[in-house]
Amino acid sequence: MIDVLRHRAYRHLFAAQVVALTGTGLTTVALGLLAYDMAGDEAGLVLGTALTIKMLAYVFLSPVAAAVTEAMDRRRVLVTLDLVRAAAALSLPFVTEIWQVYVLIFVLQAASAGFTPTFQAIIPTLLTDEEDYTKALSLSRLAYDLESLVSPALAAALLSVVTFDTLFVGTTLGFCGSALLVASVSLPRIVASKRRGIWDRTTRGLQLYLATPRLRGLLALNFAVAMPGAMVLVNTVLMVKSGLGGSDRMVALALGAFGGGSMLAAIALPRLLTRLSDRWVMLAGGVAMAVTGLALALWVRLFDLSFPPLLLAWFVSGIGFATALTPSGRLLRRSAGPEDLPALFAAQFALSHACWLLAYPLAGWLATVTTPEFTLAVLALFGLAGCLSAARLWPHADPRHKRS
């Protein structure tokens, strides 16, 4: 898989992704501590509002950013957005009011809403060979999973010698490092489409996305993965600490099992996708998540919640998560020409996060008013319904290299 790093431009962009993700992971830890420092027992409300702002920025601003930057030099756009993110992160230690936190989080996430789809759309123009691009997608998935494991450990190590405010400096350095790495390479210029209207440019990606059967199937699959995925990300702490009386270490192990399964799938996918169709592999991943959730719900109903089945279920769910989502970029590249790729990636970014925007509060609300097994079962059934919809929307005979 790592032989794709022989491409100099991609190697620098991948390194930029890694250092930016590390910085983002430090912010996740530091923001929680900042919220507690400012709001005390209401820290959860502050964090919940900040995460909602993040998701709203992703959903509504990424198509607008793609339209506004369509005719601009991609390298300059990425460097500028990295510097905006760095400035916002560096400002966070100096806030004195909670509303200031919200404003800076909005600025940071608005910049990310423009950066991430633009960055993702550049990679398939650099790696024109599908096998190389598949390896790049798997490496990207590994980077996200490693960040979720490494950043908390790095933050813990830093907090033993510095205050939490210093973690924001680490975030700033990560974004500055990303900007330097992006600036160090020449990127292919994407010819802007001839459409002039800002509304048409803003909605172009969504129009293409919803007009393409395989991508309508991908949207259903995004929904299918978000529902049981939200159970893992939102309610693992509740299940381990309240349901099992477990420790913080057990919470970390449970989330680590999910990340470990995702990493294993990412490593296996490049070879698997040479033998099996994207449709079969991705649907299998979504079904695996849903069935695993139902199986764990049944286990808890019959035998009560225990830690080993939870670890196994989260590990299998991690495999399904990466299997269902990692090949998404391959579908997007097959569905549009180079000039429309930024808009299409922005549409995927916005629509996939819209699914999580639905899933997160539903998972949290169900867990507060019902039992863990009922919450698991409901979210898993939603996931299964999403998989069935994806199977109907995504044609069996799906051409590989043209819009369908």
Residue 329's domain comprises 203-393
Q: Are residues 334 and 235 in the same domain?
A: yes
Give every CB contact of residue 277 below 8 A, 6+ residues apart in sequence.
398
| Residue 238 within a domain | yes
- Rounded distance between C-alpha atoms, residue 261 and residue 302, angstroms: 26
Residue at a domain's end among 133, 162, 190 = 190
pLDDT for position 220? 96
Q: Are residues 242 and 296 in the same domain?
A: yes
288-334: pLDDT as tens digits: 999 999 999 999 999 998 999 999 999 999 999 999 999 999 999 88
Give every CB contact of residue 96 below 8 A, 6+ residues apart in sequence.
none
Q: Are residues 109 and 241 in the same domain?
A: no
Locate tokens 């395989």: which residue? 214
Cβ–Cβ under 8 Å, residues 227 and 88: no
Longest Cα–Cα distance of the chain, Å, equals 62
Three-state DSSP class for residue 396: coil
242-288: pLDDT as tens digits: 888 888 778 878 888 888 899 899 999 999 999 989 999 999 999 99
Q: Are residues 140 and 210 in the same domain?
A: no
| Residue 33 within a domain | yes
Q: Where residue 326 sits, what CATH number does that domain have? A: 1.20.1250.20
Residue 66, both tokens:
């793609």
213-228: pLDDT as tens digits: 999 999 999 999 999 9
Model-level pTM? Answer: 0.86
Residue at a domain's end among 190, 211, 231 = 190
Q: Which range is most confident: 196-200, 238-242, 352-356, 399-403?
A: 352-356
Count of beta carbons in the 10 Å neighbourhood of residue 36: 16
| Residue 367 within a domain | yes
Q: Are residues 226 and 341 in the same domain?
A: yes
Q: Are residues 248 and 356 in the same domain?
A: yes
pLDDT for position 402? 46
Q: Are residues 370 and 264 in the same domain?
A: yes
Residue 333, both tokens:
């590249």
Locate tokens 């549009």: which residue? 336
Q: What's the half-sphere exposure (Cβ side, CA atoms, 13 Å) at 187?
A: 27
| Residue 182 within a domain | yes
Cβ–Cβ under 8 Å, residues 341 and 284: no
Q: Are residues 186 and 219 in the same domain?
A: no
pLDDT confidence tier of residue 196, bands split at 50, 70 and 90: low
| Residue 196 within a domain | no
Helix pair angle (43-68, 98-126), 10° resolution: 40
Cβ–Cβ under 8 Å, residues 370 and 231: no
| Residue 178 within a domain | yes
- What Rg, from alpha-carbon coordinates, does the chain have? 21
Q: How far is CA 197 from CA 191, 201, 286, 382, 398, in A?
A: 16, 6, 38, 38, 32
The count of domains in the chain is 2
Q: What's the half-sphere exposure (Cβ side, CA atoms, 13 Å) at 152?
A: 13
Count of beta carbons in the 10 Å neighbourhood of residue 339: 15
* Phi and psi torsions of 55, nearest 5°: -65, -40
Q: Are residues 263 and 361 in the same domain?
A: yes
**Amino acid in position 34:** L
| Residue 348 within a domain | yes
Q: Are residues 352 and 288 in the same domain?
A: yes
Residue at a domain's end among 144, 167, 190 = 190
| Residue 269 within a domain | yes
Q: Are residues 185 and 249 in the same domain?
A: no
Residue 336, both tokens:
């549009």
Helix pair angle (213-237, 248-272), 10° resolution: 160
Locate tokens 């990425």: which residue? 78
pLDDT confidence tier of residue 373, bands split at 50, 70 and 90: very high
Cβ–Cβ under 8 Å, residues 9 and 183: no
Cβ–Cβ under 8 Å, residues 104 and 88: yes
pLDDT for position 401? 45
Three-state DSSP class for residue 403: coil
Q: Are residues 185 and 207 in the same domain?
A: no
